[in-house]
Chains A and B, each alone.
Chain A
Amino acid sequence: MTSTPVDGEPAARSSRTGRRVPLSWLGVVPFLAYIGLFLLLPTVLVVVQAFADPDGRPTLDNVRALSESYVLTAFWRSIELSFVTALIGAVLGALLAYLLVSGPADGFVRRVATAAAGVLAQFGGVTLAFAFIVSVGNQGLITLLLQNIGIGASGGWLYQMSGLIVVYLYFQIPLMVLVFLPALDGVKPQWREATESLGGNSWAYWRHVAVPLLTPPFLGAFLLLFANAFAAYATAAALISQGGVIIPLQIRAAITSETVLGRENVANALALGMVVVVAVAMALYSWMQRRSARWLR
C-alpha cells in the first residue's frame, strides 16, 4: 500500500518482467497508488482532522460540537428524511417492480421503464431541483394549473422537509426498482406451481413462499435507499440555498463559512458522523444481500 506516486514506470516494467511471481505485484501498483492517494488518504484525513484543532494538536472539541442542539436536530431531521423516503420509496418501488415483472419479460413497457429507472436513479442535484421548482414551486406548472381552476395552491412547502421528501422520492423509487427487479426475477414460477400442486392457494403462496423469500432483499434495498438519501447533497443544496436543515447542508455551512476561528475542523467531525451512519446502513445492506443470495438468483 505504498502511496508513492511513481505510476508509469513500474507498470511499464511489470508488463515485461511480470512472469516472475514477486514482480507480478508491480502490476497493481498504479491502481493501489491512485486509490491510496485519492481515496484512502482523504478518508484518513477526515478522521484525523476530526480530532485535531487547526494547528494539528489533538482535541475533542470538534466531536463535542456534534452534541450541540442544532447539530443534533439536523442529524435527527436527516435520519427522519432518509427513513421516510426509504420506506415510501421501497414500498412504491417494489410495487412498480412487481407491475413490471408481471408484464411480458421483454415487453416495451418493461424495457423503457428499466432504462428510465437507470437514468432517474442517478438523476439529482440542480436539474432535479429545477424540475420540481418549475412543476410545483410558487410559479410552477401544477401550482398555476391548480390556481386556474380555483384551488389556492402555493409552492412554499417545496423548500422545506416536505418538499425534500417528495423530491427525494423521485430518485428513490427508481433506485428501488433497479435493486428489487433482479430479486423479483429470481422468484421462479415453478415455486408457485409447486404451491398449487400441493393444494395451496394464492394467499398461501404469498404468505409462505414469496414474502419470506423477498423479505431479505426488500430490507436490504430499504437500507440502501436509506444510505442513499442520507448521503445525498446536491438536490437539497440546490433547493435550499441557505442554512443547515439537514446534515449535508450543515457540512456545507461548515466548509463555506470559515469566519468562526477555531471551528474549521467541525466539517470533518460532521463528515465523520455521516460516514458512520452510512457505513452501518451499507454493512447491514451487504449482509442482507448475502442472505438473500442463498435463494434468489
Chain B
Amino acid sequence: MAAVTTELTTAPPKNQGARARSALRFRIGRAVLLVLFALFFAVPLLALIEFSTRSNDLTGPRTLEYWRYIGQDPEIRTALRDSVLLALITSVVALALLLPTMVWVRLRLPKLHRVVEFLCLLPLTIPALVLVVGWAPIYLWIAYFTPAQFDSSPVVLAFAYVILVMPYMYRSLDAGLSSIDVRTLAEAARSLGAGWFTVMARVIMPNMLSAVLNAALLSVALVLGEFTVASLLNYDNLQVVMNNVAQISSGVTVALAAASLMFVFVLLFALSFVGRRRPARVIAEEK
C-alpha cells in the first residue's frame, strides 16, 4: 500500500530500493485487479456480440442474418423509429422547459433556486415504477384525448420521459450555467436591445453548448433504454418490442440488444469526450 504515494504525489524519494520494489508489486497487483474487473464487464458484452453472429450455438457458422433481420422486421422498424422520435421530442421539450426556467430563476428569482432544484431532483427519489402507478390514470385520460390515427403510438410517453430525464438534465445544465457568468451575459445582451428569446438562444445557449449537448445526449440514451414505463403502460417502444421478440427469435433479440447497446455506448462515450473540451469563456468573439 505504501507505493500509492509515489504515483499520487511527487514526494522526494527516500529509501529508494524498497520503494521501487513495493511500487512494482503494487503496479502488478493493480493491473491484475483491473483485468479481472474488465473481464467481468466485458464477458456479457462479448457474449452478446458472439451470439448475434452465430447461426445456432457456438459451433454454428458465422452469420449476419439476425443483424439484417433488424432492418426488415416491420415491428422492430416501427419501434426503432418511435423510440428515436421519442428521444428527440423528450430532449427538446425538457430543454425548452428547463433551460429558460433555470436562467430565469438565476436572474430574477434566486429565492426559488432551492425549490426548482428539489423538484428537478425529486424523480431520483421516486422510482419510475412508483410514478408509473400514478401515471396510469393520467394516461387513461391522455389515451382518451389522443386522435384515433395516433392510437397506441408510444410518442405520448414523452410526457412521462421529460420527468424521468429531468434530474440528469438539471445537473448537467446547472454545471454549465455555473461555469459562465449568466447575469453579465444577459444584462449585456439586454442592454444592446436583445429580447429574452435572443438572450436564451443566441447568447446563453452557445456559451454552454457542451453542457446542453451533454444534457441532450444523456436524455437520448435514457429514453432509448427505457423499459419500465413503456411496458407497464402498454406502449411498444424499442425495449418492449425487444423483449417481445425474445419470445420468438432469440438471435434477432440478441442482435438488436447488441446494436442498441453499441449505439448508446458510442453516444455516451462521445459525450465523455465532449464534456472535456472546455467552452471558451470569451464571449462575443465567436461570430
Q: Which residues of A contact B (CB under 8 A)?
A: 11, 15, 18, 24-25, 27-28, 30-32, 34-35, 37-39, 41-46, 49, 92, 95-96, 99, 101-104, 109, 111, 114-116, 118-120, 122-128, 130-132, 134-135, 139-142, 144, 170, 173-174, 189, 192-193, 196, 202, 206, 227, 230-231, 233-234, 237-238, 248, 251-252, 255-256, 267-268, 271-272, 274-275, 278-279, 282
- Report the bound CA distance from A282 to B126 in whole Å: 10
Apart from A116-B41, A141-B51, what 19 extra A-B contacts exist at CB < 8 Å? A15-B197, A18-B108, A28-B101, A42-B134, A46-B130, A95-B33, A102-B26, A126-B242, A130-B257, A134-B51, A139-B57, A141-B47, A170-B40, A170-B41, A193-B9, A233-B127, A237-B228, A238-B243, A271-B134
- Between A and B, 10 residue pairs with Cβ closer than 8 Å are A41-B138, A44-B134, A102-B4, A124-B225, A127-B260, A135-B43, A144-B58, A173-B37, A202-B2, A230-B127
Candidates B26, B108, B132, B271; contact of A27 at CB < 8 Å: B108
Question: Which of A41, A42, A109, A174: most chain B Cβ within 10 A?
Answer: A42
In the assembled complex, the Cα of A202 lies from the Cα of B133 at a distance in Å of 53
**Also in contact, A122 and B128, with CB within 8 A (given A39-B119, A99-B30, A267-B133):** no
Residue of A18, A120, A127 with most chain B CB atoms under a 10 A cut-off: A127
Q: Is the CB of B7 within 8 A of A28?
A: no
Instruction: Indicate if the CB atoms of B129 and A231 lie closer than 8 Å.
Output: yes
Tell me if B67 counts as interface (CB < 8 A to partner A): no
- Bound-state CA distance A229–B232 (Å) is 19
A-B residue pairs, 9 tightest by C-beta: A42-B134, A231-B127, A131-B44, A189-B9, A115-B272, A135-B47, A234-B227, A27-B104, A141-B47
Q: Assess whether B225 is in contact with A39, with CB atoms less than 8 Å apart.
A: no
Q: Does B100 contact A (CB under 8 A)?
A: yes
Contact across chains for B225 and A123 when beta carbons are under 8 A apart: yes
Quick one: closest A residue to B139, CB to CB?
A: A42
Tell me, yes or no, whether B97 is within 8 Å of chain A by CB. Answer: yes
Residue from the list A43, A111, A144 in contact with B126, Cβ < 8 A: A43
* Alpha-carbon distance A198/B45, docked complex (angstroms): 49
Inter-chain contact B34/A31, CB cutoff 8 Å: no
Q: Does B92 contact A (CB under 8 A)?
A: no
Complex CA–CA separation, A25 to B108 (angstroms): 9
Q: A189-B9, A251-B129 are in contact. Are A134 and B47 (CB under 8 A)?
A: yes
Enumerate chain B residues within 8 angstroms of A282, measured Cβ to Cβ: 124-125
- Residue B162 CB within 8 A of the other chain: yes
Taken residue by residue from 7 to 34, chain B's Cβ proximity to chain A (1 for < 8 Å, 0 otherwise) reads as 1110100000000000000100010011
| Contact of A99 with B33 at beta-carbon distance under 8 Å, contacts A125-B227, A237-B227 already known | yes
Q: Is the CB of A38 within 8 A of B48?
A: no
Contact A233 B48 (CB under 8 A): no
Using Cβ atoms and an 8 Å threshold, which residues of chain B touch A233?
127-129, 228
Q: How far is the CB of A28 from chain B (nearest CB, A)?
A: 6
Is the CB of B269 closer than 8 A to any CB of chain A?
A: yes
Interchain CB contact under 8 A, A122 and B221: yes
- B43 CB contacts on chain A under 8 angstroms: 135, 141-142
A-binding residues in B (CB < 8 A): 1-2, 4-5, 7-9, 11, 26, 30, 33-34, 37, 40-41, 43-48, 50-51, 57-58, 97-98, 100-101, 104-105, 108-109, 112, 116, 119, 122-138, 159-160, 162-163, 195-197, 221-222, 225-228, 231-232, 239, 242-243, 246, 253-254, 257, 260-261, 264-265, 268-269, 271-273
Task: Output the nearest chain A residue to B218 by Cβ-Cβ distance.
Answer: A122
Contacts of B45 in A (CB 8 A): 131
Q: Looking at the assembled complex, report how far the CB atom of B191 sits from the nearest CB atom of chain A, in whole angstroms.
A: 13
| Cα of A18 to Cα of B45 in the assembled complex, Å | 53
Name the prevailing secondary structure of the B interface residues. helix
Query: Who on chain A is nearest to B119 by CB?
Result: A35
Residue of A nearest to B125 (CB): A282
Cβ-defined partner of A125 (8 Å) among B105, B108, B225, B253: B225
A135 contacts B239, CB within 8 Å?
no
Which A residues lie within 8 Å of B51 (CB)?
134, 141
Q: Are B30 and A131 in contact (CB under 8 A)?
A: no
Interchain CB contact under 8 A, A237 and B127: no
Q: Which one of A30, A142, A174, A268 lies within 8 Å of B133 (CB-CB)?
A: A268
Chain A minimum-CB-distance residue to B48: A131
Best-buried of B37, B50, B100, B128 by chain A (most CB within 10 Å): B37
A208 to B166 alpha-carbon distance, docked (Å): 40
CB nearest neighbor in A for B104 = A27
Cα(A230)–Cα(B125), bound, Å: 11
> Is B97 touching A275 in the complex (CB atoms < 8 A)?
no
Residue from B101, B133, B243 in contact with A46 in the complex, judged by beta carbons closer than 8 Å: B133
Q: Is the CB of A28 within 8 A of B228?
A: no
Residues of B with C-beta under 8 A to A140: 47
Q: Which residue of B lies closest to A44 (CB)?
A: B134
Cβ contacts under 8 Å, A101 to chain B: 8
A contact residues around B57 at 8 Å (CB): 139, 144
Q: Which residues of A contact B268 (CB under 8 A)?
A: 115, 118-119, 122
B94 → A minimal CB distance (Å): 10
Closest to B230 in A: A234
